[in-house]
Amino acid sequence: MLSLPDLRVRQRDFLLQISRAITAQLDVDEVLRRVLQASAIMTNAQVGLVALSDESGVFVPRATVGLEAEHLPKIAQHLAGVVELLKTEPAREVLEREMQVMAQMINPDLRQALTLPLAFAGRALGLLIVFRAYASTITGDEIQVLQSFADQAAIAVNNAQLYAVVAQERRQLQAILDHSADGVFILDRDLVIRQFNEALVRMTGWSVAEAVGAPHDSIIQWDSGTVGSLREAIEAGYPFNSPVEPAHNTLYVEGDLRQKNGQTLSVGITYAPMLSADNNALAQIVANVRDITNFRQAQETQNTFISVVSHELKTPVAIIKGYAATLQRDDGDWDGEIVRETLKVIEDEADRLTGLIQDLLTASKIQAQRGVSLDLGDVWLPELAERVAARFRSQTTKHPLVLKFQNNYPHVMGDEAKLRQVLENLVSNAIKYSPNGGSIEIGGRYDAQWASVYIRDQGVGIAQADQERIFDRFYRVEGVLRKATPGTGLGLYLAKAIIDAHHGILDVESKLGEGSTFHLRLPRHP
Ligand code: ADP
C-alpha cells in the first residue's frame, strides 16, 4: 500500500499523463486504456474494464486490462444485468454481490470489485470497474482517486462524442452542398471564396481548385445589365446599413454571369451575411446561385404572348367594329351588294379570330403536356393537297400553285382536319414569306416506310440559325417581313405538334434569299 502523500503524487502524475493524452487528441480508446491502467495500478487491481453506453443504451466493453478476450462476451452479458440493476438504485451489498459474481467469472482468485460511473454533465456515459485479488475496506481516498480518473475518462468520451456529432453534421452539410442543384459558395470577410460546390462548377466552368482562394470578383463577373452588386453594397455599409436586422439582411443580385469560357448564364445570387459572435462584424457570406434561364425564357414567352395576342386580336376586332359601324350609319343607304360584301368581311374576320383563339387553346393544351388528340381515319394526301391549293388559288395571283404527287400515292392513317391545318399553314407561310411572288410547289413522294409531302417556295428563305427556332412557340424571324406580315408564331409550333402526334417528322431546308422547302413525313405503318 502506498502512503497517502505517495498516493497523491502518483495520482497527480497519472492525471497529468491522461490530460496530456486528451489534449493531444489521442484516440478515445487509447485514453480509456491509459485511464484504466492508472486506475488498476493505483488500486492494486489485476483486472479492469471500461464499458461505454452505445447509442441504444447498451454498455459495451471498450478498454480492458488483464482480461482474456474469451471472457468478454460473458462479461458483457453480465454487465447488461448490472446496468439494469443500477437503474433501480440497489443496496450496496446487492451490487457488490453482482460484481463478485462477475469477478468469479473472470478468475476465481479475484476477491473484490470497485465500480465507478463515468458521467458528464449528469449524463451516464459508462462504467469503470477494477477487480483485485484481495478484499479490503474501500477507502474514501481510493474512491476519490478512481473518481478523478473516471472524470477524465468521461471528458475524453464526451469530447469524442461531440467531435463525432460535429463531424457528422459537417458531412451532412458537405453532402447538401455537393448535391444541391443550386450553386453555393461561401466568402470570408475579405470576400475571398472559401467553399465552392459542384453545381457552381457546372454553372460557371471554374473548378473548385480555381475558385477556392480566389477573390469573389474574379469568379463572379457580370455581363452588362446587372441589378445590384455585392462590392457596391459592401462599400455602402452592407449589411449594417438598413433597418433590416443585419443577420437577416440578404442581398439579391441578378444578371448574366460570365462563365469561364466567355459565354453567359442568367443567374440570381442571394447573399446571406453571417455575423461574428458579438454581431458587430461581418464574418462570412453564404451565397446561393440559381440558374434563372428557364424563368427568363418563360417571362420572355409571356411578354411575346401578350404582345402577339393583343396585336393579332386587335386587328380583326377593329375591322369588324369599323364595318359594323358603317353598316349602322343612319345616313348610309347601302345597296344589297355592298351589305353582302361588308358582312362577308365581318364573317371572315370573325373566322380569323376563332382560328386564332383555337390556336392559342391548342398551344396551351400542348404546353400543359396534354398533347394533340387525333381523330384518325383514312387520308389521301394528294386530294387533301389539291383542296388546300384550290382554296389558296383564289387568294393569290402572284403565286402559281403546282402539285406534283408521285403515282399510286398511298393512303395513310391520320387526322384529316389536323393534317389539312398543317398543309394550310405551310402553304399560307409559303405565300406570306414570298412577297415577290414565285411558284409554290406541293409535291408528294413515298417509299416503303414514309409518305412525304413537301411545300417549296421561292421566297425570302430562312437563315440557318433561325431554322431551329421557327418551330418554337411564338417565334417569328426578325426582319422587315415580321412587322408587315400578320402572324402569331404559333403556326409551325402547332404543325410540328400535329405531325409529332402522328409519329411523323416535320423539318425545313432553306437558304436565306433562296426560298424554303418544308418536308413532312408520315409513317405508312404507324
Ligand atoms: P407566323 O407565320 O404566324 O409568324 P409560323 O409559326 O407559321 O408563324 O412561322 C414562324 C416563323 O417562321 C415566321 O414568322 C417566319 O419568320 C418563318 N417562316 C415560316 N415559314 C416560312 C417560309 N416559308 N419562308 C420564310 N420564312 C418562314
Q: pLDDT tens, 73-82?
A: 888 888 888 8
What band does 199 get if pLDDT is binned at 50, 70 and 90?
Answer: very high
Higher pLDDT, 26 or 60: 60
pTM of the predicted model, to two decimals?
Answer: 0.60
Highest mean pLDDT among 104-113, 302-311, 377-386: 377-386
4-168 matches 181-291 in fold: yes
Mean pLDDT, the chain, integer: 90
Residue pair 460/473 in contact (Cβ under 8 Å)? The answer is no
pLDDT at 469: 93
Q: What is the C-alpha separation between 367 and 347, in angstroms, rounded? A: 30
Of ligand 1's listed atoms, the one at least distance from the Cα of 494 is: 6
* CATH of segment(s) 377-523: 3.30.565.10
Amino acid residing at 278: D
Residue pair 157/52 in contact (Cβ under 8 Å)? The answer is yes
Indicate the range of 100-104, 188-192, 442-446 predicted with least confidence: 100-104
Of 392, 476, 478, the residue with max ligand 1 atoms within 8 A of its CB, to mutate for a pocket test, comes to 476
Residue pair 414/377 in contact (Cβ under 8 Å)? The answer is yes
**Is it the case that residue 88 has pLDDT exceeding 80?**
no
The string of pLDDT tens digits covering residues 389-415 is 999 998 899 999 999 999 999 999 999
Of ligand 1's listed atoms, the one at least distance from the Cα of 471 is: 6
pLDDT at 518: 98
Q: Is the dihedral of CA 353, 354, 355, 361 positive or negative?
A: positive
Domain spans of the chain?
A: 4-168, 181-291, 296-369, 377-523
Name the percent of the chain lying above pLDDT 90.
Answer: 55
pLDDT at 1: 56
Query: Which residue's alpha carbon is nearest to atom 12 within ligand 1?
Result: 470
Residue range 413-433: average pLDDT? Answer: 96
Class of domain 4-168: alpha beta
The counts of H helices and E strands in the chain are: 16, 16
Query: Which residue's alpha carbon is nearest to atom 14 within ligand 1?
Result: 476
Show the 3-state SS of 114-149: EEEEEEECCEEEEEEEEEECCCCCCCHHHHHHHHHH
Q: What is the C-alpha separation between 341 and 343, in angstroms, rounded? A: 5
Indicate the range of 20-24, 110-114, 175-179, 236-240 predicted with least confidence: 20-24
The string of pLDDT tens digits covering residues 50-71 is 999 888 878 888 999 998 888 8
**Is it the case that residue 7 has pLDDT exceeding 80?**
no
Q: What is the C-alpha separation between 95 and 103, in angstroms, rounded? A: 12
Class of domain 296-369: mainly alpha
Residue 430, exposed/middle/buried by CB under 10 A (0-12, 13-18, 19+)? buried
pLDDT at 211: 97
Cell readout for 511 is 437558304
What band does 204 get if pLDDT is binned at 50, 70 and 90?
Answer: very high
**Is it the case that residue 26 has pLDDT exceeding 80?**
no
Q: What is the C-alpha separation between 180 and 184, in angstroms, rounded? A: 8
Beta strands, E only, 276-371: 282-291
Cis amide bond preceding 73, omega within 30: no
Of ligand 1's listed atoms, the one at least distance from the Cα of 455 is: 23
**Is it the case that residue 227 has pLDDT exceeding 80?**
no
**Is it the case that residue 36 has pLDDT exceeding 70?**
yes
Q: Is the dihedral of CA 36, 37, 39, 45 positive or negative?
A: positive
The string of pLDDT tens digits covering residues 471-499 is 998 889 988 888 888 888 999 999 999 99
DSSP conformation class of 247 = G
**Is it the case that residue 229 has pLDDT exceeding 60?**
yes
Of ligand 1's listed atoms, the one at least distance from the Cα of 486 is: 3
pLDDT at 2: 64
Class of domain 181-291: alpha beta
pLDDT at 459: 96
| Pocket (CB within 6 angstroms of ligand 1) | 425, 429-430, 433, 457, 459-460, 462, 470, 475-477, 487-493, 516
Residue range 130-150: average pLDDT? Answer: 86
Give me ligand 1 centre to Cα 470, in Å.
7
Give me ligand 1 centre to Cα 192, in Å.
50
Residue range 250-276: average pLDDT? Answer: 95
Residue 362, exposed/middle/buried by CB under 10 A (0-12, 13-18, 19+)? buried
Write phi, then psi, for 460 (nearest 5 degrees).
Answer: -70, -20
**Is it the case that residue 198 has pLDDT exceeding 90?**
yes
Name the percent of the chain lying above pLDDT 70.
Answer: 99
Q: What is the C-alpha separation between 303 and 92, in angstroms, rounded? A: 84
Higher pLDDT, 142 or 284: 284
Cell readout for 166 is 460535429
